[in-house]
Amino acid sequence: MTEQMKIVRHSEQTLRTALISKNPRLVSQYEKLDIREQRLMNEAFQPASELFSPITLHSQSDWITSHPEAPQDFEEFFSDPYRKTPSPEKHSIYIQSIGALGNTRVISEEYIKWLKGYCEAFFYGLTVKLLEPVSVSATRCSFRVNDHTQNLQIHAGHILKFLKKKKPEDAFCVVGITMIDLYPRDSWNFVFGQASLTDGVGIFSFARYGRDFYSSHYEGKVKKLQKKSSSDYSIFDNYYIPEITSVLLLRSCKTLTHEIGHIFGLRHCQWLACLMQGSNHLEEADRRPLNLCPICLRKLQCAIGFSIAERYKALVRWIDGESAGTPRATPKHSREDSVNLPKPVESFKEWKEWIIKCLAVLQK
């Protein structure tokens, strides 16, 4: 594999134009940014930058090689007529869980709160709200057993329709999350997620992020699908759910923010190593960083209007486990409910160090 490794290196001029643009209006918009923010973003075109590095392709099956698409610079993002931007009326990201996310209700509830907190820090300035969890049967989606992997799969397009119907008035977008694998159409093997930018809805599955999905002893294999009717969803009742490890939390935070990034109109990044790079397989998804490159960061800042330093501080607070939410009320239910599970953040430690370096540049 290594002999095929290839570095995608753009010239300083190309990166400068991708970030700042040559359009005088956008250049002056950039120059009005806080000088410290400019200093951080200008790292994009410093060849020796310790913060942002070029994209490395490891094999022919990597995204850029197998899905040629036009790159999107800041100017193209800014002038995209179809791009959706949050407004005071539509200012909330909603998360809808479909089926159980954890092996107990407490794990499911804690895990979705971790994802909510992460999205609040990442899309700093927007509100993130949780919709009441629903069962698979509530979505009325089609489902099947995958011929190759023998696991249960639910139809992504049907779930998008369900989410669109449920979209609250103040929603900028609604994202569904599930631990059940997805397929977009009969001829496809699987899909990690699918979104409709025009409707502002997305569905993402974390089924393949568990540590054992690709192993021979994966417990989500189904011997035979016995359906009494197309409305018989009983097979999902006690279906296998992977353990929520730190790696699974990291992967799900990455997928969620990457896909919501698309709903903001950010296309796949081809400038620098970045969360918004496309990925064809898990290994490639694991290689891409949690952070946005300066070009994509400027796009997101332009859409939301946050202070970059405040956003980074919020991400550090999330990693450090300082909850932004209210303290937990005394539960009315069983003792099991009062367990406060520690957030498994070991996998985020390296990223925290990186954010602290960025904050140092911003606070000079």
Strands 127-130 and 92-98, sheet pairing: parallel
3-state secondary structure of 128: strand
CB atoms < 10 A from the CB of 120, how many?
Answer: 20
Catalytic one of 43, 110, 120, 259: 259
Q: How far apart are the two ends of the chain, measured CA to CA in Å?
A: 41
Strand partners, 93: 128, 173
Strand partners, 205: 178
C-alpha closest to that of 270 among 69, 12, 78: 69
Amino acid sitting at position 299:
K
Six token digits for residue 172: 């900028």
Query: Is-catalytic flag, 259?
Result: yes
CA distance 80 to 254: 25
Amino acid sitting at position 191:
V
Kindly provide the residue ranges of all beta strands, DSSP E only, lying in the chain, ordered along the sequence.
Answer: 6-8, 55-57, 92-98, 127-130, 143-145, 152-155, 171-178, 181-183, 193-196, 201-205
CA distance 327 to 353: 28
Do residues 93 and 43 lie in contact, with contact meaning Cβ atoms separated by under 8 Å?
no
Task: List residues with catalytic annotation.
Answer: 259
